[in-house]
Amino acid sequence: MAFGPAAAGLRGAELEACVRAALERVGMAEYADRPPHHLSFGQRRRVAVATVLAMEPEILVLDEPSSNLDPASRRELADILRGLDTTVLMVTHDLPYALELCPRSVILSGGVIVADGRTQELLSDDAVMRAHRLELPFGFDPGSVRVEA
């Protein structure tokens, strides 16, 4: 976790404080001394997010952040992402997760933007979904989900 901030010139107590603050932001401060192979997959994902947050980015880019996470770890990560004061750009095929976390979505097909709008509206558009081979889980109705504006 300290590699990025150290490469940016932080040293000593300042470096330790930076790493500790990033771990606290993702709820992993108590695991600071634990080797990575002793962490669960969800805990490792949170530490990975903390590693990037330690660099204080303007934009946090995540690629399939919910993949391979159990439901509790998905929820914990969602709570962390919602609590950040950093812009989050997320690439995902997990459409319910996108609905939960992203007020706006862009659908790419063949490397071209084919739709751009409110996530709930895009996921409720059967024609757009079919045309771009997107599917929601069986029985999932994006219109029934209350989302914040």
Radius of gyration of the chain (CA): 18
- What pLDDT, on the 0 to 100 scale, is given for residue 144? 86
Query: Residues 62, 25: one domain?
Result: yes
| Inside any domain, residue 10 | yes
Sign of CA dihedral 107, 112, 115, 116: positive
Looking at the domain assignment, is residue 29 inside a domain? yes
pLDDT value for 47: 93
Q: What is the extent of the structural domain holding 61?
A: 1-70
Q: Can you give the pLDDT at residue 149?
A: 60
Tell me, yes or no, whether 81 lies in a domain: no
Amino acid at 103: P
CA gap 104, 83 in Å, rounded: 17
**Would you say residue 77 lies in a domain?**
no
Q: Is residue 79 in some structural domain? A: no
Q: Is residue 47 part of a domain?
A: yes
Domain count within the chain: 2
What predicted TM-score, i.e. pTM, was given to this entire model? 0.82
Q: pLDDT at position 2, please?
A: 86
- Do residues 64 and 9 share a domain? yes
pLDDT confidence of residue 43: 92
Question: Which residues fall within 8 angstroms of residue 65, CB to CB, at 6 or more apart?
Answer: 45, 77, 81, 90, 92, 97
62 and 13 in one domain? yes
Same domain as 35, residue 97: no
- Per-residue pLDDT of the chain (149 residues), as tens digits, is 888 888 888 899 999 999 999 999 999 999 988 998 999 989 999 999 999 999 989 999 999 999 999 999 999 999 999 999 899 999 999 999 999 999 999 999 999 999 999 999 999 999 999 999 999 999 999 988 887 76
Of 19, 38, 70, which residue is a domain's last?
A: 70
Say if 144 falls within a structural domain: yes
Tell which of 38, 70, 102 closes a domain. Answer: 70
Q: Classify residue 22: in a domain, yes or no.
A: yes
- Structure confidence at residue 63 (pLDDT): 95
Residues 99 and 51 in one domain: no
